[in-house]
Structure 1
Amino acid sequence: MAPEKELVKLIGFWASPFVLSVRWALKLKGIEYEYQEENLLKKSPLLLQYNPVYKKVPVLLHNGKPLLESLFIIEYIDETWKHNPLLPQDPFERAKSRFWAKFAHEKCIGPMIKAFFKIGEEQEKCVKEACEHLKILESGLEEGKRFFGGETIGFVDIAVAWMGCWARIVEEVLNVKLIDEEKMPRLIAWFKNVVEVPMLKECMPPTQKLLEHNIRFRKLLVAAAERHQSSPLTGP
């Protein structure tokens, strides 16, 4: 009797970089899955059922069991399907990969996202923080290596390297500078090496479409912030 087919479903949104990183992991592992595009303005009953607390994508369903948060999902994928490993086998290198992925999400991506939601001095502060931490992230890259762990694409690349494309989007939308070509050459080379991998490149959303989406989103955020500031109910 043939083994029962595993049911894998990804609930996502086309413009989400966190969803993209999960799609990259599934692609590199060669895992077949069903994809459900989510309307984040009118969230589906399935999303609310499986992520009732945060109500966010991505959500990975494996045989009906929900996995949340992209870093945890990628690690689960790597541990469940052993072929084409993403995390190093050496315990020290595994710990180091987890550290850099967590650092990038909290210290680099976090301020970038906050900057998108802010205006004025608060935005400038977030941009400065992101720049400082991107430089620290670059220090984790070995000179002359194509990927974060060496010559083979791995966990940190999948979890973080989409940031290169999204940083440029943020720069254009906000008219700021996040990644300095002269100060961060290794970081820029790394971003390019990852997104040029054919299997990963085909998952990338169109840059122009992504830019237009984020311009519209930013306008909505600014309008909401201005309404809040001008409201007579706004406190000191």
Structure 2
Amino acid sequence: MGEVKLHGTWKSPYIWRVIWALKLKGIPYEYIEEDLSSKSPMLLQHNPVHKKIPVLVHEGKPICESMVILEYIEETWPQDPLLPSDLYERAVARFWLGFAEDKIPMLWKIVLTDGEEQKQAIKDAFEMLKMIEEHGIKEKYFGGNKIGLVDIAFGAIAHWFVAIDSERGLKLLEAHNFPRLHSWIKNFKEDPIIKENLPDLTPVLKG
């Protein structure tokens, strides 16, 4: 299997994508918490281009960017697959992985902006959630009755955005707005492995 190390910071939803994938596949790893205000020489060495987390180091070789890391994990450790075996279904999953990578960052604008810019960010988030509700979730999870890479990619909605939605009183994620998404969030967070690996966001929200 080779030595696996993971550089990250617990506040980041992107690091938790990787943690969930490793845990779901039963891959042992060493976690290294990074202080992004004073980045370690090892992090800068492993990711000299973007200088950010997450970075997975497998047998001394670094892999950067959460989506790239997820694909690497899936291909390197094929046990307990997180992508469908059917080629069409796999292509659909990759479409939604791209959608998540493109759209998830807009959620943070709600926290980082105010006034008219924040209103637009909330409107954009609502439209994104509507797309997921109407076209993404078909069964218990995105790809059926088992958690896959797409669910992991959208995990920021299930935990981070739920917390933001509640703390700010936005009420975007209530069941009457998005029943499928609301059910998916519940199913995702109740999976035993996911449930055991959800960070306490209270310090982030209060900060």
- TM (norm. structure 1) is 0.83
Structure 2: segments with no counterpart, 5+ residues: none
After TM superposition, the structure 1 = structure 2 runs for residues 152-167 of structure 1, keeping only pairs within 5 Å, are 152-167=146-161
State whether structure 2 residue 123 is matched by structure 1 residue 132. no
Runs of 4+ in 1 over 6 A off after TM superposition: none
Task: Indicate the structure (1 or 2) with the bigger Cα radius of gyration.
Answer: 1
Counterpart of 2:137? 141
1:11–1:38 CA contact under 8 A, matched in 2: yes
Counterpart of 2:178? 184
1:106-163 per-residue CA deviation (whole Å, 9 max, x = no partner) reads 12x1211122211111111111101111110112111xx2111111111111221342
Q: Match for 1:211: what amino acid?
A: T
Q: Match for 1:17: what amino acid?
A: P
Of 25, 32, 36 in structure 2, the residue corresponding to residue 36 of structure 1 is 32
Counterpart of 1:121? 116
After TM superposition, the structure 1 = structure 2 runs for residues 12-31 of structure 1, keeping only pairs within 5 Å, are 12-31=8-27
Of 192, 198, 202 in structure 1, the residue corresponding to residue 192 of structure 2 is 198
SS in 1 for 2:63: strand
2:8–2:53 CA contact under 8 A, matched in 1: yes
Structure 1 residue 22, shift from structure 2 partner: 0.4
Q: Cα RMSD (Å) of the superposition? A: 1.5
2:4–2:30 CA contact under 8 A, matched in 1: yes
Structure 1 residue 174, shift from structure 2 partner: 4.0
Structure 1: segments with no counterpart, 5+ residues: 217-236
State whether structure 2 residue 89 is matched by structure 1 residue 93. yes
The count of aligned residue pairs is 206
Structure 1 residue 211, shift from structure 2 partner: 2.7
SS in 2 for 1:130: helix
Aligned-residue identity in percent:
49
Q: Match for 1:80: what amino acid?
A: T
1:104–1:160 CA contact under 8 A, matched in 2: yes
1:83-122 per-residue CA deviation (whole Å, 9 max, x = no partner) reads 1010111111111111112212312x12111222111111
Counterpart of 1:215? 206
For the residues of structure 1 that align with 2:169 and 2:36, how far apart are their CA atoms? 26
- TM (norm. structure 2) is 0.93
2:158–2:188 CA contact under 8 A, matched in 1: no
